Amino acid sequence: MPNSREHSKLTANAVALVDSGNIPVAELIKEYCNYPDFYFSDPERFGPYYFETDGIQFHYPPDTPYNDLYRYWTFRNGCLRRLHKFRNDNYIHMTNGFRHYLTKCIRTEDSEEMLKFAGCLLHVLEDALFSLHALEGPGGTDLMFLDRLDFFEKPPTEQLVEISPLGMADVAGYIPRSLGSSIDETVMNLYTEYVRKNRDSRRCCFQFLMARYNHSSPEEISAPVRQMYYNTVTLCADVLHTILNLRQGLPAKARDYFLTEIEPFAFPFGGSGSMAFRFRSYGQDINFDRQGNPVSLTTIVNGKKTVFQYGFSFGVHYENALLFQLPEGMFSSFTATIGLAPDIATKNPVTVKMINHDSVISSFILELHDGPSQEIAIPSPGGVFGIQEFSDCPSGTLIIGQPLLKANRFAPEPFHIL
């Protein structure tokens, strides 16, 4: 929960890692990175830099509660189905905001105006990744949850608010990465980085609190704070680097992606038959045995056990989904192997539906002794993309092995200013 001076410190370090050319960045550091905090004190002046979705300002995005994924079920069409369709409000609000501010930054010709919009974007990322607000967001909770435990002598909110980047050594030597060749690709990658770094910073908050509670060494107490600082500064540097590159027509080269490199907006949770996924969403590049121990991603292909380096695992349930939003025209094809984990699978059939452009394009049934896996090849993946899984008697684990998106080498050139 950085204050104005702390936002300036975080922004200054990010700027120092980026080649900003002849663009004057002093006001970005001093003032523009604090614009979101000024809006309600002077809406007329700061209104042009304000953005909201459904009346909620981008500055304070909703969390992503898991309640609808595990708690609410109904009996429909002869079997259990989820009562509510899962809605990821954090994804909706954050990607809307990312797209708005990135578009303004890249298509606004005046460099000073560009920096004002960039400052708003950096401010939100700094809030999300450093200190107290890291408890919120995707997979997060409200700020006072830890206080309600009455576990710590001093309320955790007060302890986390006291964390400050002032006086911390700057991140040095980091080379910023481009997050995309277009606004769509950048939004996709920025959301992924935001979620994963937010998750890591949330872990750091807990590590910091427990280190204090256990009267650990100063090094053990400060280490998670330094990691939060690194998460924040490096992602902000990546964002600035990407904006400046796209403005100059210097996008990243088109490349292939494994689906594991992209954050889903809808994800599975739970599953029957073992402890592996009873309290888990999914495994990324890993699977879990009946006791919840990590094991390799394995399924049976042509009668033989096959191990995959990359992919997903999740519990077979009455109903589950793993869905992504892919930029249109960015990828030429998708390939993967989808199958049952042989050490947990039962005789119960599992129905899998492939989704592309928000429509079911194919459906198949997996059974342990009669087709335990299926090779998948989908041309032109885009829009809402992924899989849905259904089982009337759920048990076992589903494996998605080597889910590869091949780049479309003939995608249109991105917009640029200079």
Q: What is the pTM of this model?
A: 0.95
Residue 383 has pLDDT above 70, yes or no: yes
Domains contained in the chain, CATH given: 4-248 (1.10.575), 257-407 (2.60.120.1060)
What is the amino acid identity at position 370? D
Q: Which of 39-43, 350-354, 412-416 has the highest mean pLDDT?
A: 350-354
pLDDT of residue 415: 45
| CA distances (Å), origin 141, targets 97, 137, 231, 358 | 21, 7, 20, 29
Residue 416 has pLDDT above 60, yes or no: no
pLDDT of residue 44: 94
| CA distances (Å), origin 238, targets 83, 180, 233, 242 | 40, 10, 9, 6
* 46-55, 103-112, 180-189, 269-278: least confidently modelled range: 269-278
Torsion angle of the four alpha carbons 177, 194, 128, 384, in this order, in degrees rounded to the nearest 10: 140
The residues, any chain, with a CB within 8 Å of residue 175's CB and separated by 6 or more, are: 17
> What average pLDDT does range 223-235 have in this prediction?
99
Tell me the two tokens of residue 400. Answer: 């998605």
pLDDT of residue 346: 74
What is the amino acid identity at position 15? V
pLDDT of residue 272: 66
Report the C-alpha gap between 254 and 171 in whole angstroms. Answer: 29
pLDDT of residue 418: 42
Residue 413 has pLDDT above 60, yes or no: no
pLDDT of residue 411: 59
Report the C-alpha gap between 164 and 404 in whole angstroms. Answer: 41
Mean pLDDT (the chain) is: 93
Report the C-alpha gap between 14 and 129 in whole angstroms. Answer: 14
Give 412's pLDDT tier (boundaries 50, 70, 90): low
pLDDT in tens, 119-171: 999 999 999 999 999 999 998 888 898 899 888 889 999 999 999 999 999 99
Burial level of 210, CB count in 10 A (0-12/13-18/19+)? middle
Give 417's pLDDT tier (boundaries 50, 70, 90): very low
35: left (phi over 0), alpha (psi -120 to 50) or beta: alpha
46: left (phi over 0), alpha (psi -120 to 50) or beta: alpha
Q: Where are the beta strands (DSSP E) in 72-141?
A: 73-76, 79-82
The residues, any chain, with a CB within 8 Å of residue 167's CB and separated by 6 or more, are: none
* SS3 letters across 225-272: HHHHHHHHHHHHHHHHHHHHHHHCCCCCCCCCEEHHHCCCCECCCCCC
Residue 69 has pLDDT above 70, yes or no: yes
Residue 392 has pLDDT above 70, yes or no: yes
* SS3 letters across 3-41: CHHHHHHHHHHHHHCCCCCCCCCHHHHHCHHHHHHHHHH
Give 276's pLDDT tier (boundaries 50, 70, 90): confident
Give 250's pLDDT tier (boundaries 50, 70, 90): confident
pLDDT of residue 274: 66
Choice between 175 and 291, residue whose per-residue pLDDT is larger:
175
pLDDT of residue 152: 87
Largest CA distance in the chain: 68
Report the C-alpha gap between 274 and 271 in whole angstroms. Answer: 8
pLDDT in tens, 303-329: 999 999 999 999 999 999 999 999 999
53 contacts 96 by C-beta, under 8 angstroms? yes
Choice between 251 and 225, residue whose per-residue pLDDT is larger:
225
> What average pLDDT does range 243-263 have in this prediction?
93
Say how far residue 18 (Cα) sits from the centre of its chain.
23
Choice between 306 and 415, residue whose per-residue pLDDT is larger:
306
